[in-house]
Every structure is written in structure tokens, then in C-alpha cells.
């Protein structure tokens, strides 16, 4: 088959902060190119550390200028000395131009229906005219429905869902969480919703363990994800080991690349005083660290939750509750089903309470002991929904792309 008969998927991940969106998109891209040998996937991302990850053959990325969200809800440019409006215009232009040249058969937008501050709206409209399949991918929990409904009203999202998107994939199960419940969506929009199940993870072929003594014996992995909001969790875990040196397992703390350098240094100094605690900032092969761990302590973001289920790990989840209740909603449902234990941060962070939770971890059930039909079938169902469109694109060959380029030049 010639290169003109290849299929193309473009994935947008706004990535203002953290690693969640990028890691979810990367997992989908890697699975799809494994299943379709004539498929190419391009990821649009604002993540400043996207280059730290390895990507499989036929998966690549275009990095748009990064922005970060301030505590007051406003955005600012991450690295460029530019006004935020100019940065957003630049991002929007790069996104649209990339989509025009790459000319995907399918466009997947992660989480934000119109992108950051509406930056993908024009791209959606352009690709809709070309006949591109447009898909919105949503995690299992977004926020409290009333808060999400208000946010989408402000952004005028409903017409976009109704008129532009062909499908809306929820990477979860309705019996666990229904992120679009009570959102007032039209029947036409509701018919577009597909629950895929959670996205399973696997350890990459090139993944290995860091050269550290702690990983040569049973250990707990405590991970904050990106780390930008993980200081309270790390402090609480450290305080438990400082007050109770006989906890069942040593712990490896993954502080996260977005944690403030001063906080990382402070935690590393405290850990250095303890025989059974070690720290690292970041490991692009976190899946390997997790699969070798005896248990996991985490904040309960979407990707970490998928990994806990995929690698069948006993877990203690300490969810953050600001600026969204997403992690708490997911964590409490997981506890209700018996998939994980939960420790809520009451602001006091009693070391004895954390130590007691860590001591009880070996007695917890494994997630695999809970039967939830379709729980980890997300990638299977993503591929199943995608395959007809990729085959259709392959049969059409390069003719459509030639037409689009001629139209653009005209």
C-alpha cells in the first residue's frame, strides 16, 4: 500500500498544567498505531516536557507555546514574554495551520470542547467542512455537574457539541461516573455519547527501573502526577515515615516536574534523613515503577487510576479537592466499589492517621478481586469505534487531501 493510502489522526491536548491530558492522548495514539500499520498520529500539545517522553514509530507531536493557569483562574504565557492574547492567537494559528496541512481523517479533542479559550473552534469548523470525523474525548469525571454546566454555558459549548462533533467518548463507565449527567444536553447530543471503559496501560518495551537500592526490594510508590498540586500529599506521607520508622514498606516519592523547586529541595532534604524513603523528580516510565511496586499512594488523577487498575495494585488515594472535585468524586466511587482505599485531607494531616492507612494497605483487596464488566476495555472500544473511519480513509487514498490543498491554494 502506498503512503497516499495511509490514514491520519490528529489529537489536540491543551496541557496548561500537569501530565494527565498528554499521557492519555499518548496511550490512545500508541494503541491505535499498533492496531493499524498504515496509520500516522500527530499530537498537538502545550506540555513543556512532551519531549521527555518516547513515542512509537508513526506517532509524533507538535508543541504549541505553553500557557499556565494562575490561581485567580486567568492564564499567562509559560515561557514567552508575550501578552496572553497574542500567545493564544499564536497557538490557534499553529493548530489550524497544522490541521490544514496534516489533513486528518479523524480529529480527537481532549477534554476542552473548543480548546483553551476557544483556540480550536476555527479548526473544528474547517475540518467539519472537509468531512473529517470530529471526536471529543472526556475523562470519567469532569467536575460537579452544576459547575461543569455553568462553565459550558459561559463558553457556549452546547451548539459546538450539537453541530460540529460526531461523537463524544467518555473514557469510563456510567455505573462508576457519569460526567454529563444533568447537563441539559439535547437528545441529539446525548446520542453521540459513547462510554468506552477505562484506558488500560502497559509497560513500554524500553522501560526500566532507575538505578536505586529502594526498587530492589518491595516498596510503595507515592506519585503526585505532575506535582504542581502535590505538596500536601508528599508532606503527609513524609510525616508518617518520620514518626513511624517501622511501616511495612519503604517508599519512593515521585515529586513531579511541576512541583516548585524549593518544595522539591525541602522534601528531598527531609527524605535524606530517613533510611526508608527516597525521592525522584520525574520518570517517563512511571508504568514500570508502578508495576514493580507493592502498592501505590496517589492523588487519584485519571491516568494514575487507570494504572492502578491495569497493574492490579493496592492503592491509597488522597484526592485533592481544589480547584475541582474530580479526584474526590472518582476516589469515593472507587472506595465504594472496593477498588481502592481513600484518605481525605482534613487540613490537619495527622501523621498517625497516614501511618495507620499505610499499615493497612497489605490487607486491602486487589482491584482484580472486584468484578466490574468492561472496566478496562477503553482502548479496545476506542479502536473499534475508530476502525471504520480509518478503513474508509484508506480506500479513499490521497485524493481528498489533494482536493483540500488545491482548494486552500485557490
DSSP per residue, 19-85 = SHHHHHHHHHHHHHHHH-TTEEEEEEE--TTGGGS---TTEEEEEPPPEEE-TTS-EEESSS-S-HH
**Residues 6 or more apart from 371 whose CB is under 8 A from it?**
none
Helices (H), 84-154: 84-102, 121-130, 145-154
Residue showing cell 497574542: 86
Query: Quick one: pLDDT at residue 262?
Result: 97
Are 196 and 375 in contact, with CB atoms under 8 Å apart? no
- pLDDT value for 221: 97
- Note the pLDDT of residue 381: 98
Exposure string over 222-243, b if 16+ CB within 10 A, otherwise e:
bbbbbbbbbbebbbbbbbbbee
pTM of the model: 0.91
Q: State how far the Cα of 256 lies from the Cα of 179, in Å rounded to an integer.
A: 27
User: How high is the pLDDT of residue 18?
Assistant: 63
Question: What's residue 1's pLDDT?
Answer: 33
Distance CA 258, CA 112 (A): 21
The predicted pLDDT at position 393 comes to 67
Which pLDDT score, from 0 to 100, does residue 228 have?
Answer: 84
> The C-alpha cell of 19 is what?
501530565
Count of beta carbons in the 10 Å neighbourhood of residue 126: 16
Structural domains of the chain in order of their starting residue, each with its CATH number: 3-200+376-409 (3.40.50.2000), 213-369 (3.40.50.2000)
Question: Over the range 10-28, which residues count as b (16 or more CB within 10 Å of their CB) and which as e?
Answer: bbbbbbebbbbbbbbbbbb
Provide Rg for the chain, Cα atoms.
Answer: 22
Q: What is the pLDDT of residue 38?
A: 93
C-alpha cell at 112: 476542552
- What is the distance between the alpha carbons of residues 164 and 162, in angstroms, rounded to a whole number? 6
The half-sphere exposure of 159 on its side-chain side, counting CA atoms within 13 A, is 5
The helix (run of H) or strand (run of E) holding residue 7 is strand 7-13
Q: Can you tell me the distance from the alpha carbon of 239 to that of 180, in angstroms, rounded to the nearest whole number?
A: 39
Q: How far is CA 306 from CA 140, 275, 378, in A?
A: 11, 31, 10
Closest CA to 337 of 366, 296, 311: 366
d(CA 360, CA 304): 21
Q: Where do the H-state alpha helices sit in 132-249?
A: 145-154, 158-163, 187-190, 231-243
3-class secondary structure, 407: helix
- The per-residue pLDDT for 2 is 37
Mean pLDDT by 10 residues, the chain (410 residues): 72 78 93 96 91 92 85 74 90 97 97 94 98 96 86 94 98 92 92 97 77 92 90 97 94 93 97 96 90 96 95 97 88 96 95 97 95 96 95 63 52
Q: How far apart are CA 146 and CA 144, in angstroms?
A: 6
Query: How high is the pLDDT of residue 397?
Result: 55
Single out the residue of 76, 78, 75, 72 nearest to residue 47, CA to CA: 78
Amino acid at each position: 500500500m502506498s503512503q497516499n493510502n495511509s490514514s491520519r489522526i490528529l489529537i489536540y491536548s491543551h496541557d496548561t498544567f500537569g501530565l494527565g491530558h498528554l499521557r492519555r492522548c499518548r496511550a490512545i495514539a500508541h494503541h491505535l498505531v499498533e492496531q493499524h500499520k498504515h496509520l500516522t498520529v500527530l499530537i498537538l500539545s502545550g506540555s513543556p516536557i512532551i519531549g521527555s517522553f518516547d513515542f512509537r514509530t508513526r506517532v509524533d507531536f507538535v508543541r504549541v507555546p505553553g500557557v499556565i493557569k494562575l490561581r485567580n483562574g486567568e492564564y499567562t504565557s509559560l515561557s514567552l514574554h508575550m501578552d496572553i492574547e497574542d500567545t493564544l492567537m499564536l497557538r490557534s494559528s499553529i493548530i489550524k495551520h497544522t490541521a490544514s496541512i496534516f489533513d486528518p481523517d479523524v480529529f480527537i479533542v481532549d477534554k476542552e470542547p473548543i480548546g483553551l479559550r476557544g483556540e480550536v473552534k476555527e479548526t473544528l469548523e474547517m475540518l467539519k467542512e472537509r468531512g473529517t470525523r470530529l471526536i471529543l474525548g472526556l475523562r470519567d469525571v469532569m467536575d460537579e455537574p452544576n459547575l461543569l454546566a455553568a462553565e459550558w454555558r459561559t463558553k457556549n459549548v452546547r451548539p459546538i457539541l450539537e453541530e460540529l462533533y460526531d461523537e463524544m467518548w467518555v473514557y469510563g463507565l456510567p455505573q462508576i461516573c457519569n460526567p454529563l449527567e444533568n447537563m441539559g444536553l439535547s437528545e441529539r447530543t446525548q446520542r453521540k455519547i459513547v462510554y468506552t471503559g477505562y484506558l488500560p496501560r502497559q509497560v513500554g518495551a524500553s522501560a526500566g527501573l532507575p538505578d536505586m537500592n529502594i526498587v530492589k526490594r518491595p516498596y510503595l510508590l507515592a506519585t503526585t502526577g505532575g506535582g504542581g498540586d502535590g505538596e500536601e500529599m508528599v508532606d503527609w506521607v513524609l510525616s508518617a515515615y518520620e514518626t513511624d520508622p517501622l511501616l511495612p514498606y519503604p517508599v519512593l516519592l515521585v515529586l513531579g516536574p511541576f512541583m516548585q523547586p524549593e518544595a522539591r529541595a525541602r522534601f528531598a532534604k527531609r527524605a535524606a534523613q530517613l533510611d526508608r524513603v527516597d525521592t525522584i523528580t520525574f520518570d517517563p516510565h512511571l508504568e514500570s515503577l508502578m508495576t514493580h511496586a507493592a502498592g501505590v499512594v496517589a492523588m487519584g488523577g485519571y491516568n494514575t487510576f487507570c494504572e492502578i487498575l491495569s497493574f492490579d495494585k493496592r492503592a491509597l488515594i488522597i484526592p485533592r479537592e481544589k480547584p475541582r472535585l474530580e479526584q474526590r468524586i472518582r476516589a469515593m466511587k472507587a472506595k465504594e466499589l472496593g477498588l481502592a482505599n481513600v484518605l481525605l485531607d482534613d487540613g490537619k494531616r495527622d501523621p498517625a492517621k497516614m501511618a495507620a492507612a499505610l499499615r493497612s494497605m497489605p490487607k486491602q483487596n486487589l482491584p482484580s478481586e472486584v468484578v466490574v464488566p468492561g472496566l478496562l476495555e477503553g482502548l479496545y472500544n476506542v479502536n473499534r469505534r475508530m476502525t471504520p473511519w480509518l478503513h474508509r480513509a484508506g480506500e479513499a487514498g490521497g485524493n481528498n487531501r489533494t482536493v483540500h490543498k488545491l482548494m486552500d491554494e485557490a
